Amino acid sequence: MLRRTFLQGTAALLGLATTAKTASAASGPFEIQRTDAEWKAMLSSLEYRVMREEGTERAFTSPLNDEKRAGMFHCKGCDLPLYASAHKFDSGTGWPSFWQAQANAIETKADRSFFIVRTECHCRRCGSHMGHIFDDGPKPT
């Protein structure tokens, strides 16, 4: 199945080559665990809202949306490599989009907000919210 990932939580990504619901983006236990105070100390208020409360930044506001350099997108919460730049494409949505994640990098759960069921993705190591997955992405080139 072809998949498109909108990283509506791109504040949760540190960048290339470096890289309101509840106060937990996904249930776990996760390999990396921090208290709310520790998360708040290391993240901006927007990053915390996106990564830990499953918020969404406004479309077309992430500098990563127009990022074109070769490299790897890492989770800001734990530095796990999530997406290769080779798998990024312009979806026209205003959020960085990828057609494939790194192996064993993300986990998913059903998101039943807004009266529909969507597939939400989060970092498998720290549980940070990354966005949503849709099955209408482009074919790999």
Helix (H, G, I), strand (E, B) or coil at 109: strand
The closest of 23, 32, 48, 13 to 126, measured between CA atoms, is 32
Return per-residue pLDDT of the chain as tens, 141 residues: 233 344 444 433 433 332 333 344 566 689 999 999 999 999 999 999 999 998 889 999 988 999 999 999 999 999 999 999 999 998 888 999 998 999 999 998 877 777 778 788 999 999 999 988 887 767 664
Instruction: Name the one residue in this structure whose structure tokens are 């597939």.
Output: 119
